[in-house]
Amino acid sequence: MMKKAKIKDQPYTNLLMPKGSTASQEDQAEQKARINSINQAASQKIFVPFSTNMEQRKAALALRAQGKNIVSGLPGQTPNYQMLQCFYHLAEVGGEFKVIPV
């Protein structure tokens, strides 16, 4: 009778840390801070719906020049903000285009 090979439980490994790394606690804290800043920047995506309005396009370009992550909509698209991971969108409020939470 053959014994079934046991599969060892794999310990959790952080894929962003090199395997077998001898990084100290300070290095790990520095990498976690860097990853958190990347995640924070990525979570601030702004959805810009499709429009032929040049003022909206200028506002979107100004946001992009400031380093903001812009997700451009397609004609006739009904955005799924959760799928796009956008928590803000560009909307016209009182004749001006502003970034407002979804």
**Residue ranges covered by each domain of the chain:** 29-101
Structure token digits, residue 95: 């004749």
Output the pTM of the full model: 0.60
State the pLDDT at residue 8: 59
Q: 79 exposed, middle or buried (CB, 10 Å; 0-12, 13-18, 19+)?
A: middle
pLDDT tens figures, 71-102: 999 999 999 988 888 889 999 999 999 999 98
CB 70 within 8 A of CB 49: no
